[in-house]
């Protein structure tokens, strides 16, 4: 992806926060209460549940069955009533999350939503290429798609308080130091600056294996 595709910061942030709320309150929560899992997945056109209820986000709409429900200007409570699955975060599993309430009004720009979803799709594709035996998971807590391999997390975040744009990351359980490890938690690169995401993951694995440029802190 290139920087020219990135929406303006305010528009993207509002959309990211709202889609995080949707992932947590309208997909993961209902799925956990019905099927016992919070795992979500990237889809060709967005992201969705992996078990009942069958719900997904495509662009700026929530899709249930053959019905598309526009997200912008509506609340999770309202949308959950329409789908029949209800709204609310999974309870008792984690302390972080979107911080959103079911009464919040969602602000979802179509262009920003498509950009975020392309980043998730690229992340899913890159993770499968890097580690073919792994199944990437979109986690609702931090709204990132990732895998855990040999005590190292690899993935793509939609953005957060550390970096407000989508970024690829490599996060070892043990802290590292060195030029490659440019983030407090490991290594992070904006998706707009990474032309080869599987290559970035592989570079992190090489540093960890060699003990070279990324030494233990």
Cα separation of 154 and 123, whole Å? 10
pLDDT of residue 109: 98
Cα separation of 123 and 89, whole Å? 24
**Do 74 and 144 fall into the same domain?**
no
Q: What predicted TM-score, i.e. pTM, was given to this entire model?
A: 0.93
Task: Report the first-to-last Cα separation within the chain, whole angstroms.
Answer: 32
Cα separation of 180 and 185, whole Å? 12
pLDDT above 90 coverage of the chain, percent: 87
- Residue 213, pLDDT > 50, answer no
Kindly calculate the radius of gyration of the chain based on its CA atoms and give it in whole angstroms.
Answer: 17
pLDDT of residue 161: 94
**Do 137 and 101 fall into the same domain?**
no
Confidence of residue 217 (pLDDT cuts 50, 70, 90): very low
Between these two residues, 92 and 98, which has the higher pLDDT value? 98
C-beta of residue 137 within 8 angstroms of C-beta of residue 145: yes
pLDDT of residue 1: 60
**Do 105 and 10 fall into the same domain?**
yes
The predicted model gives 163-179 an average pLDDT of 94
Q: Each residue of 132-146: pLDDT tens digit?
A: 999 999 999 999 999
Q: Tell me which DSSP letter residue 7 carries.
A: P
User: 144: part of which helix (H) or strand (E)?
Assistant: strand 144-149
Q: Domain total for the chain?
A: 2
40 within domain boundaries: yes
Cα separation of 27 and 172, whole Å? 29
* Domain around 153: 121-216
Structure tokens at 168: 């690829």
- Residue 11, pLDDT > 80, answer yes
Cα separation of 155 and 172, whole Å? 12
Between these two residues, 105 and 216, which has the higher pLDDT value? 105
**Do 34 and 126 fall into the same domain?**
no
The predicted model gives 105-131 an average pLDDT of 98
Selection from 174, 149, 144 nearest residue 159 by Cα: 144
Q: Each residue of 74-96: pLDDT tens digit?
A: 999 999 999 999 999 998 898 88
- For the chain, how are helix, strand and coil distributed in percent, rounded to 5? 35, 25, 40
């Amino acid at each position: 992806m290139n920087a020219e595709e990135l929406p303006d910061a305010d528009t993207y942030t509002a959309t990211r926060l709202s889609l995080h709320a949707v992932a947590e309150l309208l997909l993961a929560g209902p799925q956990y209460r019905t099927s016992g899992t919070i795992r979500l997945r990237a889809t060709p056109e967005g992201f969705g549940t992996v078990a009942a209820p069958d719900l997904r986000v495509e662009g700026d709409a929530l899709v249930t069955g053959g019905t598309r429900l526009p997200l912008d200007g509506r609340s999770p409570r309202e949308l959950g009533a329409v789908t029949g699955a209800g709204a609310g975060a999974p309870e008792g599993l984690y302390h972080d999350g979107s911080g959103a309430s079911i009464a919040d009004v969602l602000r979802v720009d179509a262009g920003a939503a498509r950009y975020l979803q392309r980043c998730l799709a690229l992340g899913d594709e890159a993770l499968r290429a890097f580690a073919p035996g792994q199944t990437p998971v979109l986690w609702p807590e931090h709204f990132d798609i990732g895998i855990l391999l040999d005590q190292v997390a690899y993935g793509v975040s939609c953005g957060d308080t550390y970096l407000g744009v989508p970024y690829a990351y490599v996060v070892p359980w043990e802290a590292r130091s060195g030029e490659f490890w440019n983030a407090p938690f490991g290594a992070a690169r904006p998706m707009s600056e990474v032309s080869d995401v599987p290559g970035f993951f592989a570079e992190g694995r090489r540093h960890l294996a060699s003990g070279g440029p990324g030494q233990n802190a």
